[in-house]
Structure 1
């Protein structure tokens, strides 16, 4: 068993247009391999990772502080401190966190760490492939990449 206090873990910052947040990778700090957990801080007016779902990994979030919205396949739903939401490993688990409040939105994001995994980004019309280490994993991968959903190729070359 390992214990870590989040105050000893450094923030990593992500900033790409409307996607901007800080993240502390708690599970990495204790070398957890089968369960992922990160602390996120999402500034007002910003969004988390693009809308996505996983095919091999369940995810969940627990909101610690702030208010915002959760984008799901059904649209935007309220998200507030104390909310716990789970995302199954299929299209029903599609999600994106949006901070439309005036204060930072802080939440824990947890996931299983199964591989291989395909992560689907329906709005971007892309998917990611992760073999050898799951999304969020830090081990070397034997295969990874992002591809357009509409790209199609024949099994046999002509």
Structure 2
């Protein structure tokens, strides 16, 4: 299937609790993989406005992630520190590696990148800076946000 990005809807929504929404308010995603009806992995084209984060810093228990920078400059923040990524650079994050990561646009222009992730079931996502993690629901169709010690947090998504 040929995909013209101009035909793919853009979305700015997030499932994060209200207190974290301002961090990702300038993230605009186009879900290319969903548009192509892909089942095993997702591909998103993401525009990140200056000052915005790609996500809260996180890592996945079961899912691999990969990003590829198309335009602009992004700062990759991991447990190891920060690195600048420019067009043509990429980064990968193996499932189960407890290395929290996210991208921050610290420049003055919009950056665009591709993010690719698999859709392995039963994935847990840990947000080390926020004392949060997600766990899958028994039916696998939603995720529950809890604290890292397992105590509940009043939100599911």
Band of TM-score, shorter chain: 0.7 to 0.9
Match of 2:24 among 5, 13, 19: 19
Aligned to 2:80: 74
Q: How does 1:78-97 map to 2 (within 5 A)?
A: 78-97=84-103
| Cα displacement (A) at 1:151 | 3.5
Deviation by residue 1:78-99 (Cα, 9 ceiling, x = unmatched): 1111111100112344211000
Shift of 1:105: 0.8
CA contact (8 A) 1:56 1:118 kept: yes
Once the two structures are overlaid, the 10-residue window that deviates more, 67-76 or 55-64, is: 67-76
Q: Is the 8 A contact 1:23 1:39 kept in 2?
A: yes
Partner of 2:4: 5
Please give the TM-score of this superposition, normalised by the length of structure 2: 0.84
RMSD over aligned Cα atoms: 1.8
Compute the TM-score of the two structures, normalised by the length of structure 1.
0.84
Bigger Cα Rg? 1
Q: Deviations over 1:25-75 (max 9, x none)?
A: 011111101011000000011111100010100000000000120011111
Structure 1 gaps of 5+ residues are: 134-140, 153-158
CA distance 1:46–1:144, shift in 2 (3 Å): closer
Please give the per-residue CA displacement for 1:95-152, whole angstroms capped at 9, x wherever unaligned. Answer: 110001111010000011100110111111111012555xxxxxxx1x5201001246
Paired residues for 1:6-155 under 5 Å = 6-14=5-13, 16-20=21-25, 21-131=27-137, 132-133=139-140, 141=141, 144-151=143-150
Q: Secondary structure at the match of 1:18?
A: helix
Q: How many residues were matched structurally?
A: 144
Structure 2 unaligned blocks of 5 or more: 15-20, 152-157
- 1: distance between equivalents of 2:6 and 2:12? 16
> In the alignment, is the contact (CA less than 8 A) between 1:54 and 1:93 conserved in 2?
no
Task: Measure, in 1, the Cα distance between the counterparts of 2:93 and 2:100.
Answer: 7
Q: Distance in 2 between matches of 1:109 and 1:28?
A: 13
